[in-house]
Amino acid sequence: MAWVVIGGSKGTLTVIFACYIVGLLGSLLVSGVVSDRVGRKPVLLPALGLAMAACAIFVSASAVAALIVARLFSGIAVGAVVSAGMAAVTDVAGPGRRRLAALPASCAMVFGAGLGPLLAGVLGKGVFVLEAVLLAVAVLVVARMPVRRPVPPAKGAWVRIPGVPRGSGGQLLMGIAVFAPGITATSFVLSLGPSLLSGLLDTTSPVAAGAMAFVMFLTATGAQLAVQRLDRRTILLAGAVSTTIGMGALTAAVRASSVPLLVAAALLAGAGQGMGQLGGLSLLNSGVPASRLAEANAALNVGGYVPAGALPVTAGYLSDAAGLTTGATVFGAVLMALALVGGLVVLAGPASVRRK
């Protein structure tokens, strides 16, 4: 919402979004390993505090620099939550419900990602006041969370590119192969979707952009609930197919100036991210011990957010130089190819992924 007030080029808009990705990636280099060694709460509580600071900056932001700092802070906080927070959900669920734990963790992430833009479109900067209240509640919940301190690994650097134990690399690769194109597609909709809508509908209403983001992530949540009982390979293949078709719809939407096709592209992108995320988390929950789970979650998210930050920024600057139609078309074609490759990676993956 603050972007709508301050204004700027499409390239600058995507750079502001990319600052969130930079903060998130930097956090992932530390938060997963630290969480596995010292516990979930020592990582989550400072992250929630940093998110509250970001809310305060957003409320008072009057320049692009302030937005960059706020997005950086929020990215750092989210990096801690998607690694340590998702691992904490699995810890609370217990050893017998590790697969089931992936579902609420993943659904909470995508549903919250959609609810934020919708509330921002309706409430304006007031959404950050509401978010600060919710974060305060989250602090109380985390402080009372019954999570035991994990047994720390004996060796290894504290700050490193996150990874998985030996033997789990194939599962991580399959998850990233589908999750990365899916989250890159939704990142494009979040960063440049308002510009596309304003051109097609001749409106700058933040409610319209927020509503599109909301239904995109609502679809992500619904898709995860719909496929939760399927085997992991089927879930991942469905995610790859959804993202592929979605990017075809995006290309057609900008070429034909069609709002229905743009909405369809957003919905398919949401479903692709949701299923890729659920499939990836389920694979890691099934094969990675608790002492490395937060780091494994961080590795999955690093693999997803690197292209999610780089490709939309590239598309934004290309749109400034050659037009939004050209930028969106090139982006859609590249991501369609990546989603197809992701599907092939899943098909070539180990047969053990078929197990529920």
SS (H, E, C) 108-124: HHHHHHHHHHHHHHHHC
Say if CB 324 and CB 118 are below 8 A apart. no
- Which is nearest to 192 in space by CA: 275, 314, 306, 78? 314
Report d(CA 101, CA 47) in Å as an integer: 22
Task: Say yes or no to pLDDT of 348 above 80.
Answer: yes
pTM reported for the whole predicted model: 0.85
Integer angstrom CA distances of residue 129 from 124, 147, 279: 10, 29, 34
Q: Which residues in 189-211 are b (16+ Cβ under 10 Å) and which e?
A: bbbbbbbbbbebeeeeebebbbb
Mean pLDDT over residues 196-201, rounded? Answer: 72
pLDDT tens-digit map of 135-171: 999 999 999 988 766 665 556 777 788 999 988 899 9
What pLDDT is recorded for position 237?
97
Report d(CA 250, CA 261) in Å as an integer: 7
**Average pLDDT, rounded, for the chain:** 87
What pLDDT is recorded for position 154?
52
pLDDT tens-digit map of 44-103: 999 999 999 999 999 988 888 888 999 999 999 999 999 999 999 988 888 778 777 888
Task: Say yes or no to pLDDT of 273 above 50.
Answer: yes
Indicate the range of 2-16, 168-182, 189-203, 313-327 predicted with least confidence.
Answer: 2-16
What pLDDT is recorded for position 179?
97
What pLDDT is recorded for position 340?
97
Say if CB 120 and CB 1 are below 8 A apart. yes
Mean pLDDT over residues 21-34, rounded? Answer: 92
Task: Say yes or no to pLDDT of 356 above 50.
Answer: no
Say if CB 127 and CB 119 are below 8 A apart. yes
Q: What sign does the CA torsion over 303, 304, 307, 309 have?
A: negative
Task: Say yes or no to pLDDT of 7 above 60.
Answer: no
Task: Say yes or no to pLDDT of 123 above 80.
Answer: yes
pLDDT tens-digit map of 235-245: 999 999 999 99
What pLDDT is recorded for position 222?
95
What pLDDT is recorded for position 309?
84
What pLDDT is recorded for position 3?
41
What one-character-per-residue DSSP string does 13-50 give?
HHHHHHHHHHHHHHHHHHHHHHHHHH-SHHHHHHHHHH
- Which is nearest to 65 in space by CA: 10, 23, 27, 19? 19
What phi-psi label fits residue 136: left (phi over 0), alpha (psi between -120 and 50 degrees) or beta? alpha
Report which of residues 130 and 3 the model is more confident about. Answer: 130
Residue 211 pLDDT class (50, 70, 90 cuts): confident
Mean pLDDT over residues 281-296, rounded? Answer: 90
Task: Say yes or no to pLDDT of 203 above 70.
Answer: no
Vertex 192: Cα angle to 189 and 193 (nearest 5): 50
- Which is nearest to 346 in space by CA: 172, 229, 100? 172
Vertex 151: Cα angle to 146 and 155 (nearest 5): 145
CA neighbours within 13 Å on the CB side: how many for 277? 37
